[in-house]
């Protein structure tokens, strides 16, 4: 590496562990920015290096235009559906050469829940030695905000103008059903939990799947300054429970919902038309979900080892 301090695309110097450099193209209040910072810090703390594989999504636009890059690590852009396959090839070569740097996929919900699901499922089934982080903004942010299978019911998007009728796909359950060594949810409103899970993921081997609730002010029609508060409400109300699953069979809830009404979450974003949401049904669904996770955590606990 050169002697000069690393600089971002804006020319602002950044620290060595700066995975996301200043001058990137992310919108203000984008959850992805915070997530990438946490990831960079966790890698630096663990003394590990990484390469990123990023499919079509806001995360690859983040890099900025050739010949500059907003990423402080090597990045390979993949086609929309290919990130886990490209990462499989890269991780294979790394392993063949006895190297230890992490190969990390960083993908939006479209590349994860939808177009990339077959590839992700196959990589999970093969237990590829990669970390996969989905920053779930629940919308196709990069194309201007259309529905995805991660979009929650009732959310208005460009392709569901009167609110999405279907449920959000439970991608963590899908991944856990593959028996992957580690699957966990992340919230930037709970940085200590976030960092601990990154540490766990960096320590383990095989397919590690992390789902991060990623505020998207552009798509959520929310105030950038409220992003962290919004995802905090999602955790507190049980809309986005924080939990982890080991080997697809042992569970732990990390943050118990505190009785906050999901209505608070909906009210802060102009993507929801409150008149069209059956809030009682949402409350019941949150309750059922957390009760099920609680039962699993008690019956099949992760225990203290991790």
Stretch touching other proteins by CB under 8 A, among 114-122, 139-147, 199-207, 210-218: 114-122
User: Could you tell me the smallest distance in angstroms from the CB atom of residue 93 to other proteins?
Assistant: 4
Q: Of 33 and 88, which CB lies nearer to ligand SF4 in the complex structure?
A: 33
Look at residue 67 and give the partner it binds from ligand SF4, other proteins, none, a contact being a CB closer than 5 to 8 Å depending on partner kind: other proteins
Give the number of other Cβ atoms within 10 Å of residue 166's Cβ: 11
By CB under 8 A, the count of residues binding other proteins is 46
Contact (CB, 8 A) for 84 and 105: yes
Q: Which residues pair with 184 in a beta bridge?
A: 210, 244
Distances (CA, A) of 66 to 16, 22, 74, 158, 177: 21, 16, 13, 30, 40
Binding to other proteins (CB under 8 A): which residues in 183-222?
Answer: none
Binding to other proteins (CB under 8 A): which residues in 63-102?
Answer: 63-67, 69, 71-79, 81-82, 84-97, 99, 101
User: Could you tell me the smallest distance in angstroms from the CB atom of residue 145 to ligand SF4?
Assistant: 7
User: Could you tell me the smallest distance in angstroms from the CB atom of residue 135 to other proteins?
Assistant: 17
Does 162 help bind other proteins (rule: CB under 8 A)?
Answer: no
- β-bridge pairing 182-187 and 242-246: antiparallel
What character string, x for contact with other proteins (CB under 8 A) and - otherwise, covers 4-43?
Answer: --x-------------------------------------
Please, how many CA atoms are within 13 Å of residue 21, restricted to the half-sphere of its CB?
Answer: 21
Helix (H, G, I), strand (E, B) or coil at 193: helix
Distances (CA, A) of 95 to 36, 44, 179, 205: 25, 21, 22, 12
Of 176, 197, 172, nearest to 186 by C-alpha is 197
Among 26, 69, 121, 127, the residue binding ligand SF4 under the rule CB under 6 A is: 26
Measured distance CA(283)–CA(234) in Å, rounded: 12
Among 18, 32, 81, 277, the residue binding ligand SF4 under the rule CB under 6 A is: 32
Q: Of 111 and 219, which CB lies nearer to ligand SF4 in the complex structure?
A: 219
Binding to ligand SF4 (CB under 6 A): which residues in 49-68?
Answer: 58
First to last CA, the chain: 35
Contact (CB, 8 A) for 144 and 41: no
Helix (H, G, I), strand (E, B) or coil at 76: strand
Look at residue 119 and give the partner it binds from other proteins, ligand SF4, none, a contact being a CB closer than 5 to 8 Å depending on partner kind: other proteins
User: Could you tell me the smallest distance in angstroms from the CB atom of residue 57 to ligand SF4?
Assistant: 8
Q: Of 90 and 186, which CB lies nearer to ligand SF4 in the complex structure?
A: 186
Contact (CB, 8 A) for 158 and 146: yes
Look at residue 78 and give the partner it binds from ligand SF4, other proteins, none, a contact being a CB closer than 5 to 8 Å depending on partner kind: other proteins
Q: Which residues pair with 136 in a beta bridge?
A: 213
Q: Which residues pair with 104 in a beta bridge?
A: 52, 131
Residues near other proteins (CB under 8 A)? 1, 6, 49-51, 53, 60-61, 63-67, 69, 71-79, 81-82, 84-97, 99, 101, 118-119, 121-122, 126
Residues near ligand SF4 (CB under 6 A)? 26-27, 30, 32, 58, 137, 141-142, 216-219
């Amino acid at each position: 590496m050169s002697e000069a301090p690393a600089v971002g695309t804006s020319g602002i110097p950044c620290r060595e562990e700066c995975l996301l450099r200043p001058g990137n193209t992310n919108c203000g209040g984008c959850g992805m920015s915070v997530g990438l910072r946490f990831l960079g810090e966790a890698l630096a703390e663990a003394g590990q290096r990484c390469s990123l594989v990023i499919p079509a999504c806001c995360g690859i636009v983040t890099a900025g235009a050739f010949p500059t890059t907003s990423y402080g690590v090597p990045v390979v852009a993949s086609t929309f559906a290919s990130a886990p396959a490209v990462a499989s090839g890269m991780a294979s070569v790394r392993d063949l050469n006895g190297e230890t740097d992490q190969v990390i996929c960083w993908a939006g919900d479209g590349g994860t829940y939808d177009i990339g699901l077959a590839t992700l499922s196959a990589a999970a089934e093969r237990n590829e030695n990669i970390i996969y982080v989905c920053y779930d903004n629940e919308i196709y942010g990069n194309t201007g905000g259309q529905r995805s299978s991660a979009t929650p019911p009732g959310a208005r998007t460009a392709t569901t103008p009167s609110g999405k009728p279907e449920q959000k796909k439970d991608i963590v359950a899908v991944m856990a059903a593959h028996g992957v060594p580690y699957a966990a949810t992340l919230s930037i409103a709970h940085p200590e939990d976030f960092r601990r899970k990154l540490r766990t993921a960096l320590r383990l081997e095989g397919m590690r799947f992390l789902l991060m609730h990623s505020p998207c002010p552009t798509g959520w029609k929310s105030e950038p300054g409220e992003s962290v508060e919004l995802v905090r409400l999602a955790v507190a109300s049980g809309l986005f429970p924080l939990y982890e699953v080991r080997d697809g069979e042992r569970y732990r809830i990390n943050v118990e919902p505190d009785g906050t009404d999901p209505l608070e979450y909906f009210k802060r974003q102009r993507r929801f038309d409150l008149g069209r949401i059956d809030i009682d049904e949402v409350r019941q669904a949150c309750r059922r979900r957390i009760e099920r996770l609680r039962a699993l955590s008690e019956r099949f606990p992760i225990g203290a080892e991790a």
